[in-house]
Amino acid sequence: MQQVIEKLLILQDRDHRILRAKDHLARVEPERQALQSRAAAAQAGMETAKAKLKQVESDRKKLELEAESKKQQIERYALQQFQTKKNEEYRALAHEIDTCKASITELEDRQLGLMEEAEAIQIAAAAASREADEIRKAADEQLKELAAREQTLRSELTGLEGNRDQLTGAIEDRALRHYERLLHNKGDSVVVGIQHGVCGGCHMKFPVQLMVTCQAEKDLVTCPNCGRILYYTPDMDLAVAD
């Protein structure tokens, strides 16, 4: 194998590892955000349930006060009844008292309804609170793992990129420029074998002459179709597979 090809393959292996590390790093932040928003949604669900419970309790309290004021009204009417000597006025007050009593019954019924509602909400709120706790705990754990993974990837990437120039420095300029341009445009394997007589990148079938030139290992040979740098190793079968 030509020395330049050997060096390019080593560089390519390094670049693949760099790209992989970058790819994994790029997924860290979305994953972190997904975990955080899941925990936030669970928290919000719990807070909504608690706020609803508070509202129901305050509604019930209002009804209770209303009923209380009706009871005081009845006491005032009863006192007036006691003081009056007119039958007509007495009857009118008795009617007012009956109306108040009916209102109180209705207010108490509504209070009972709200108490039942509050009980159901309380159960739901407790469940939502437990769920939010569990999700928070799991998310914290996963966020910790994620931070550790990110740290590992960052130091791995620093290591991989750190001495990359030692690899590029050993490669002749023209070949390196060609390689860099291909890597930039294609972003995957750009130094490829001619196994089975086709380009390892774009799979175009090669003319015999090109394979002969490649086997001669004198010049840098590129694919006429995609421009990838081609190489040959003796273990390659150059017969075109059907």
Write out the binding residues for Zn ion, residues 21-40 only, by CB under 5 A. Answer: none
Dihedral Cα 168, 170, 176, 182, nearest 10 deg: -50
Contact stretch for Zn ion (CB under 5 A) within 10-18, 20-28, 51-59, 222-230: 222-230
What helix, strand, coil percent values describe the chain, rounded to 5?
80, 5, 20
- Looking at the Cβ atoms of 113 and 224, the one nearer to Zn ion is 224
The residue within the footprint of Zn ion, chosen from 18, 92, 202, 236 (CB under 5 A), is 202
Q: Compute how many residues bind Zn ion; rule: CB under 5 A.
A: 7
Cα separation, 178 vs 169, in Å, equals 14
State which residue, 178 or 228, has the beta carbon closest to Zn ion.
228
Binding range to Zn ion, per CB under 5 A, among 93-101, 105-113, 123-131, 219-227: 219-227
Token pair of 146 as six digits: 């994620």
Q: How far is the CB of 177 from Zn ion (least distance, A)?
A: 19
- Please tell me the distance from the alpha carbon of residue 55 to that of residue 48, in angstroms, as a whole number: 11
3-state secondary structure 131-165: HHHHHHHHHHHHHHHHHHHHHHHHHHHHHHHHCHH
Rounded to the nearest whole angstrom, what is the least distance from the CB of residue 230 to Zn ion in the complex? Answer: 8
CB of 100 or CB of 221, closer to Zn ion? 221
Q: Which stretch binds Zn ion (CB under 5 A): 13-21, 78-86, 109-117, 224-232?
A: 224-232
Q: Does 225 bind Zn ion (CB under 5 A)?
A: yes
Angstrom distance (rounded) from CA 180 to CA 64: 80
Interface with Zn ion by CB under 5 A: which residues? 199, 201-202, 223, 225-226, 228
